[in-house]
Chains A and B, each alone.
Chain A
Amino acid sequence: MKRTISIMLLILVLAVSVVFAGGDKEEAKDEKIIRIAEQVPGLITPGVWDGQAFSMNGSIYEYLAEMNPDTGELEPLLATAWETEDGSTWKFTLRKGVKFHDGSDFNAQDVKYTIERTQDPTIGHLKKQDFEVVSSIETPDNHTIILHLDEPRPTFVYQLTDYNMAILSSEYDYASLGESKPMGTGPFMMQQLTPKESALLVRNPNYWAEGLPIVDKLAIYFVPDIDASISMLESGRVDVVPFITQVIKTRLEKNPDINVISPYQEMRFISMRVDEKPFNDNRVRLAFKYAMDPQIIARSVAQMDLNDGIFYNETPIMNILAEYKEIPLRGRDTKKAKALLAEAGYPNGVSVPMYYASDHPFGKELAQTVQELAAPAGFDIDLKGYTRDIYLSQYWMNVPLSITGWAGRPDPSMLLLLAFRGGGSWNESHIDNPKINALIDNISEEANEAKRLSYYHELQEVFYEEGSLIDVQVPLLIAVSNKIVNYRHPLTQIPQYKYMDVK
């Protein structure tokens, strides 16, 4: 027994010595700090950043422009101005006196490097396809950059607000330091990063905007479990938990210290694959659409009224966008749906599996509601729920019927090219409709705004008649302690912590 005890003591001593690697404290007196519980990120280097830990990366890095969450307009950030004649040449005037966290100056070479980096095959840049259109880059002086595009892209500036287009320093080794020592021009700098566990960010003393950021520190915990994150919020150990579910929202509503806010909507595409039976027949797609009841979907999925935080249409354009065309909703008509199905050769109804991400907010609720609604019209839906990583890595592009979460894009043409143009890389419904393709091309190349809008409207009518999707727009829910003042979170998905304050 003595031996056992001494072995154990030895292990204990070893463990103690490993663990006793203290660091900088989270909180000192008279400091303002915002504490955030985020999901555990995978890769965080811009370019291959997997779209988690927005609070961390969005505070360290900056973009040429940022979006004002109240107006939806782009405002200058690292670029002070931008102009284009017809969308094929873009001139950006860059901000002077900006420094990276390592002390080097920000200039046109950095922007050039950031854009050229998208085409580096060894990186696997997620914006490679969107920036293939850039044919050449000119830097006439240190604070001007001119992009020449192969084709006109009148809304190209929005591409530069994509979260993977953070401006990087041309002199920094992101290949070996991007994951361990992220470095940009942003309002906060990384002080201490414990991978997969936590990050402590401190105010950038040389930040170019006077008076910003308002708080001194951001403490970010990476918590794998959303319920654990909520427990931390309830016990006052963190102030912000992004991306919560409706069930948690209901639970938090009783708590006077916590607000649940919804800065914008996200989309859930109920997507019908058009190159395979049964949805290759437009009558089957129409029958499915006639089986739906938007009001019931809104109530049962989010316990909200339609058009009050949750929206429904049959096109890829979100209701809140300027490009949206209001088309009256189809009433629910199961008789008509049945007749259409019979006409299409399915008099006894049709069986079809529906795939969805069961752990994604609103995924399960939406799938079950759709299943119930479609049944009386003759759709026998077999629900196949998988966790989101499995759903996205194995199913979503190859199944007849699916529910996929999509973030809204400030410029919808980015989404159209990706998901609804024939040959688009995330074209989950496999739609390759000549009318739609032509309209999408017109939209992405037309410089005249009024004309572009008319193409958008025409496109939405085509989608209403023969499209491949139902678009349910669910609220993005963020739980915020009421100590936090001025929480800002625009459609670009980057929360703007520099403007926030703590009571």
Chain B
Amino acid sequence: MNKTLLFILKKLGSLLATLVIMSFIIFMLVEIMPGDVAQMILGQSATPEAVSALREARGLNDPVLKRYGRWIAGVAVGDLGDSIYMQGVAINSILWRRVGHSIILALTAFIMFVPLSIFFGVLAGVKENKLSDSIISFFGLATMALPEFVSGVFLITIFAVQLKWFPIVSVIPIGESLFSNLNILILPALSITFVMFGYVSRMQRSSMIQVMNSDYIRAATLKGMPRSYVILRHALKNALLPTITIIGMNMGWLFGGLIVVETLFGFPGMGSLLMIAIKTRDVPLIEACVLLITVIFSLSTMTTDILYSFLNPRIRLQGGQR
């Protein structure tokens, strides 16, 4: 138990270190972007005096490290600051509502693609080189190769324009919440599912094939156990390990990947917010969004590691985190 606790603590420590380093890199990257907030606000016609006055007024003339310190100190206590660009608007008031939307979208996609791709992956693995395997593998490859903005348009054309089952644009009517408009989740979640299905089902298929060809499965089969029992009880548990890793790693990716899907569907989540922040050069908002994506990415990677170690005790006990 001590070892497990130590393992988790170590993971948490490295997570914290990653975040500190990443926050610094994010801050510096934004720093070297051409033009600063004062210049953006004043535009091309600004005189140098006006720019420097505005810089002074907004505390932009302080040294970089001092500004980084100010920012990170705020972030540490959960205050992402006011947007320097939109004076008086707290980033917290914009961001969390959208993060909530994105989490719900990601979870909806998760609920769709995880069972679907595991089921079909197992099916393809068990029926290796049969017709059903070929069909599933082909479909998986095809959807994986299609970027979200292609499959998204495809889905919109079929389900929104032709069949009119779902709205074309995933906008929440003013004053209503996401929960009275759950149907706007379906198409964006489906187009995420399209991409993820390929990855996960292929991974599931190959690990299933590997496991099914291993000695202990053959032994179990020879013992006369029913095939379904062998597959569900013996094979699946081991064949799931690599799949879980892939899913976990991709949860972080999925969050970053929401930018495309959310922008395409006009969904008011964090991805489209980041897009808007970049377009309007809202520097503090960009920093907050990117930092949050980093946090989510690190957290999902860490969760995967921990989960994996529970499922596969060898990693935990042999110090797999080398």
- Chain A contacts to B: CB under 8 angstroms: 3-4, 7-8, 11-12, 14-16, 18-27, 40-45, 48, 121-124, 126, 128-129, 175-180, 192, 194-200, 219, 221-225, 228, 231-232, 234-235, 237, 389, 392-394, 396-397, 418, 425-426
Contacts and interface: CB of A to CB of B under 8 A. Distances in A.
B168 A15 contact: no
B264 interface: yes
Interface of B: 34-35, 38, 40-46, 49-51, 53-54, 57, 83, 85-89, 93-94, 96-97, 99-101, 103-104, 107, 110, 156, 160, 167-169, 171, 173-179, 263-266, 268, 272-273, 275-277, 279-282, 303, 307, 310
Contact of A15 (B103, B175, B303): B103
Nearest to B275: A224
Given A11-B107, A25-B175, A225-B264, A42 B87 contact: no
B41 A43 contact: yes
28 contacts: A12-B104, A18-B100, A19-B177, A22-B176, A23-B175, A24-B175, A25-B176, A42-B86, A48-B41, A121-B50, A121-B54, A124-B42, A124-B46, A126-B45, A179-B88, A179-B89, A180-B88, A195-B89, A222-B276, A223-B169, A228-B169, A231-B156, A231-B168, A231-B266, A232-B266, A394-B34, A425-B44, A426-B44
A218 to B, nearest CB: 10
Contact of B174 (A3, A21, A128, A198): A198
Given A4-B307, A19-B97, A192-B174, A197 B168 contact: no
Given A48-B41, A224-B275, A232 B168 contact: yes
Nearest to B100: A18
Contact of B303 (A7, A43, A180): A7
B279 A26 contact: no
Nearest to B111: A8
Residue from B50, B83, B169, B174 whose CB has the most chain A CB atoms within 10 Å: B174
Given A24-B175, A178-B87, A389 B42 contact: no
B175 A232 contact: no
A40 to B, nearest CB: 5
A45 B266 CA distance: 25
A177 B86 CA distance: 10
A48 B111 CA distance: 45
A219 B174 contact: yes
B45 A197 contact: no
B169 A232 contact: yes
Contacts of B178: 19
Contacts of B85: 42-43
Majority SS at the chain B contact face: helix
A195 B94 CA distance: 6
B88 A221 contact: no
Nearest to B310: A3
The 3 closest A-B pairs by CB, nearest first: A425-B45, A18-B100, A121-B53
Contacts of A224: 263, 266, 272, 275-276, 279
Contact of A26 (B87, B160, B176): B176
A3 B307 contact: yes
Given A19-B101, A425-B44, A232 B171 contact: yes
B240 to A, nearest CB: 9
Contacts of B169: 223, 228, 231-232, 235, 237
Contacts of A392: 44
A12 B111 CA distance: 12
A225 B266 contact: yes
Contacts of A194: 94, 97, 174
B87 A176 contact: yes
A20 B177 contact: yes
Contacts of A222: 276
B41 A19 contact: no
B174 A196 contact: no
B167 A124 contact: no
A19 B310 CA distance: 33
Contacts of A195: 86, 89, 93-94
Contacts of B44: 392-393, 396-397, 425-426
Residue from A128, A180, A196, A235 whose CB has the most chain B CB atoms within 10 Å: A196
A196 B88 contact: no
A177 B174 contact: no
Contacts of A389: 279, 281
Contacts of A198: 174
B179 to A, nearest CB: 7
A426 B45 contact: yes
A174 B42 CA distance: 17
A18 B45 contact: no
A502 B250 CA distance: 48
A52 B57 CA distance: 25
